[in-house]
């Protein structure tokens, strides 16, 4: 399949509002794909590479894209995949230059629309409306299967691409072979946000509340003495977490699949920053050294399988019972609450202890693997800052023609500048996007590719959950889960929050000094 065919389908889906039309377009594309191309089609349309992260950031993309695009399409999907595979294997001295050369060669062989697609694919900003739910329906339509059968198979398999290959090549009967199995990770169940514990209680009436841990999501599989641990992305991370392996191996069940989090803790038991935990999962991590310096503690909040029985269809309250029996002290304790006052007190205590907030869970819900529904709700602490817009990126898909992804900066009065802290495209209505585009273009000072740089005049109120250290941004800090609350026409850029304010927040929440700004 030509890359241009996939790009055309992606653009068509992005410009289509109707779900059924999106599904039909994607199903037609899948039918055209050869067996060895189906996984690539599914991955690319999902905004992912089969290699995972390949060490490509905006700087490398910008340098590589300086070449002239081709006039006519000439590359197939497998050609692009091969380039990504080579880039992922590059390492050592001069690796950045080598990545730029490889991508520049790729960009010089593709058309302008193909370039645009690849940039969004590599940067993680491919938002054309082909979310996995729509893709699953497209696979079902292409294979002549029911959407439920494809979704169930994908949940149990953990790989929609594999399911698509099987269904399209072998027929719908093969879908019945996908069931929960040892050492084949299941797509994790996801939570939707709730504004407050009161909203969560109003949704459920009676709910199980537990701590919202800010760690790394894990899924632990045990078969007798063998234990393997998988990440949120279903990657095998067993070698990185030997203490988790030891803890799970000691549990009484012979066959077991547990869902949970792993955290690095401070001496008093409070959680360390999320980035500390993630240090244990680096590609070149010295596991034994870090195990001594940064030990991990597992906490499990669900049980999916025990001694030959799948529990995913069981009610949450039943899974809680099994979890408590098998995991003991490793189980995250929960409290069944109906009183909003008690729930609010629990939330305040969780924040005071250094946690993200609370989870609220419906007691009669099954484990919906791979789904972000309303049976699990997450209630987090929210902070706001008044920041300055430094630049914005042209949107794609439904946001095509609007400036969407904002580059956000704080005042750095010591150096008389604004310093970038991150980006966000979340929280914007169509009305806001229209106004924002006009307002930013009035303040344009230059362009670099799809980025429009502006005079730092507009102040925007940004909600965020936490701060983390970031080598990517010159301030050394970045916002986590940033979203727009609204613009502040009553404020000038001289009244925006300062880098010092962010450093104070970081110090108060982590107990550590903030990194020094660069430049």
**CATH code of the domain containing 414:** 2.40.50.140
Residue 399 shares a structural domain with residue 366: no
- Amino acid 9: pLDDT: 93
Return the minimum-mean-pLDDT range out of 48-62, 94-108, 254-268, 324-338. Answer: 48-62
Question: Which one of 121, 143, 176 terminates a domain?
Answer: 176
The per-residue pLDDT for 314 is: 93
Q: Is residue 279 one of the residues assigned to a domain?
A: yes
Helix 3-14 × helix 38-45 angle, to 10°: 40
Query: Which position has the higher pLDDT, 227 or 488?
Result: 227
Do 242 and 214 share a structural domain? yes
Q: Are residues 228 and 248 in the same domain?
A: yes
Q: Are 409 and 487 in contact (CB under 8 A)?
A: no
- By CB atoms closer than 10 A (0-12, 13-18, 19+), residue 282 is exposed
Distance CA 188, CA 356 (A): 19
Pair (248, 302) in one structural domain: yes
Same domain for 327 and 233: yes
pLDDT at 519 over 70: no
SS (H, E, C) 464-498: ECEEEECCCCCCCEEEECCEEEEECCCCCHHHCCE
Residues 324 and 297 in one domain: yes
Q: What is the mean pLDDT of residues 40-65?
A: 84
How far apart are the C-alpha atoms of 477 and 410, rounded to whole Å? 11
Closest CA to 125 of 406, 501, 462: 406
The mean per-residue pLDDT over the stretch 252-276 comes to: 91
The model's pLDDT over 128-174, given as tens digits with 9 standing for 90+, comes to 444 667 898 999 999 999 888 898 888 888 788 999 999 998 988 89
322 vs 371, residue with greater confidence: 322
Catalogue the active-site residues. Answer: 212
Q: Residue 516 falls within a domain, yes or no?
A: no
Is the residue at 182 inside a domain? no
* Mean per-residue pLDDT, 39-46: 92
Mean pLDDT, all residues of the chain: 89
Do 144 and 281 fall into the same domain?
Answer: no
**Quick check: helix, strand or coil at residue 205?**
coil
> pLDDT (tens digit, 9 = 90+) per residue, 374-423?
899 999 877 888 999 999 999 877 788 899 999 999 998 877 789 998 89
> What local confidence, expressed as pLDDT, does residue 129 receive?
44
Is the predicted pLDDT of residue 424 greater than 70, yes or no? yes
Residues 347 and 406 in one domain: no
Query: Taking a C-beta distance cutoff of 8 angstroms, is the pair 86, 51 a contact?
Result: no
Do 414 and 310 belong together in one domain?
no
Residue range(s) defining the domain that contains residue 290: 190-378
For residues 157 and 306, the model is more confident at 306
Judged by average pLDDT, the poorest of 239-243, 395-399, 453-457 is: 395-399
b/e sequence 440-458, b meaning 16+ C-beta within 10 Å: beeeeeeeeebbbbbebeb
Q: Using one digit for the tens of pLDDT, what is the confidence trace for 332-351?
A: 999 999 999 999 999 999 98
CA–CA distance, 282 with 275 (Å, rounded to integer)? 11
What is the structure's pLDDT at 127? Answer: 56
pLDDT, one tens digit per residue, over 196-226 is 899 999 999 899 999 999 889 999 999 999 9
Percentage of residues of the chain with pLDDT beyond 90: 53
What's the order of all strands across the beta sheet hosting 296-306?
226-231, 216-223, 255-264, 296-306, 309-310
Domain-located, residue 184: no
Q: How far is CA 503 from CA 302, 447, 509, in A?
A: 36, 30, 10
* Per-residue model confidence (pLDDT) at position 236: 94
- Regarding whether 407 and 341 lie in a shared domain, the answer is no
Q: Is the pLDDT of residue 187 over 70?
A: yes
Q: Give yes or no for residue 457 having a pLDDT over 50.
A: yes
- Identify the domain boundary among 336, 360, 378: 378
Task: Convert the pLDDT of each residue in 460-509 to its tens digit.
Answer: 999 888 888 888 888 889 888 899 988 988 788 888 889 988 998 888 87
- 90 and 117 part of one domain: yes
Report the alpha-carbon distance of residue 272 to residue 511 in Å, rounded.
9
Report the CATH number at residue 42: 1.10.3260.10
Domain total of the chain: 3
Q: Burial of 288 by CB count in 10 Å (0-12 exposed, 13-18 middle, 19+ buried)? A: exposed
Instruction: Report strand pairing: 226-231 vs 216-223.
Output: antiparallel
Residue 371: pLDDT over 80: no
Residue 131 has a pLDDT of: 64
Q: Domain check: are 372 and 391 in the same one?
A: no
């Amino acid at each position: 399949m030509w890359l241009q065919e996939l790009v055309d389908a992606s653009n068509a889906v992005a410009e289509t509002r109707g779900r059924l039309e999106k599904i039909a377009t994607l199903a037609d594309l899948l039918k055209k794909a050869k067996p060895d191309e189906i996984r690539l089609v599914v991955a690319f349309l999902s905004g992912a590479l089969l290699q995972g992260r390949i060490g490509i950031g905006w700087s490398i993309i910008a340098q590589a894209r300086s070449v002239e695009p081709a006039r006519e399409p000439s590359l197939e999907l497998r050609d692009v995949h091969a380039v990504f595979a080579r880039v992922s294997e590059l390492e050592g001295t001069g690796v950045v230059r080598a990545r730029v050369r490889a991508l520049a060669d790729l960009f010089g062989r593709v058309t302008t629309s193909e370039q645009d697609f690849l940039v969004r694919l590599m940067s993680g900003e491919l938002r054309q409306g082909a979310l996995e739910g729509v893709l699953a329906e497209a696979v079902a339509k292409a294979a002549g299967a029911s959407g439920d059968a494809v979704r169930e198979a994908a949940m149990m398999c953990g790989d929609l691409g594999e399911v698509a290959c099987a269904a399209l090549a072998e027929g719908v009967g093969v879908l019945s072979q996908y069931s929960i199995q040892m050492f084949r990770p299941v797509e994790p169940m996801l939570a939707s946000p709730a504004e407050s514990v009161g909203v969560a209680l109003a949704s459920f009436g009676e709910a199980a509340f537990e701590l919202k841990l800010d760690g790394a999501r894990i899924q632990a599989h045990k078969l007798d003495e063998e234990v393997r641990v998988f990440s949120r992305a279903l990657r095998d991370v067993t070698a990185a977490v030997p203490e988790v392996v030891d803890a799970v191996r000691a549990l009484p069940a012979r066959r077991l699949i547990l869902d949970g989090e792993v955290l690095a803790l401070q001496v008093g038991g409070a959680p360390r920053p999320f980035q500390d935990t993630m240090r244990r999962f680096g590609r070149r991590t010295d596991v034994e050294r870090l195990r001594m310096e940064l030990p991990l503690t597992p906490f499990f909040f669900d049980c999916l399988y025990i001694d030959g029985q799948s529990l995913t269809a069981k009610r949450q309250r039943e899974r809680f019972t099994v979890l408590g029996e098998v995991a003991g002290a490793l189980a995250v304790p929960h409290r069944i609450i109906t009183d909003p006052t008690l729930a609010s007190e629990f939330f305040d205590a969780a924040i005071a202890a250094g946690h993200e907030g609370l989870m609220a869970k419906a007691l009669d819900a099954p484990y919906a693997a791979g789904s972000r529904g309303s049976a699990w709700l997450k209630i987090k602490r929210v902070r706001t800052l008044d920041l300055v817009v430094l630049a914005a990126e042209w949107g794609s898909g439904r946001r095509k023609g609007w400036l969407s992804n904002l580059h956000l900066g704080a005042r750095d009065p010591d150096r008389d500048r604004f310093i970038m802290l991150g980006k966000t495209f979340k929280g914007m209505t169509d009305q806001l996007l229209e106004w924002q585009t006009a307002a930013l273009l009035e303040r344009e000072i230059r362009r670099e590719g799809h980025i429009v740089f502006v005079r730092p005049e507009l102040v925007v109120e940004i909600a965020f959950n936490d701060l983390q250290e970031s080598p990517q941004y010159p301030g050394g800090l970045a916002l986590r889960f940033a979203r727009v609350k609204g613009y502040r026409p009553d404020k000038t850029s001289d009244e925006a929050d300062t880098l010092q304010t962010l450093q104070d927040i970081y110090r108060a929440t982590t107990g550590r000094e903030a990194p020094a700004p660069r430049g």
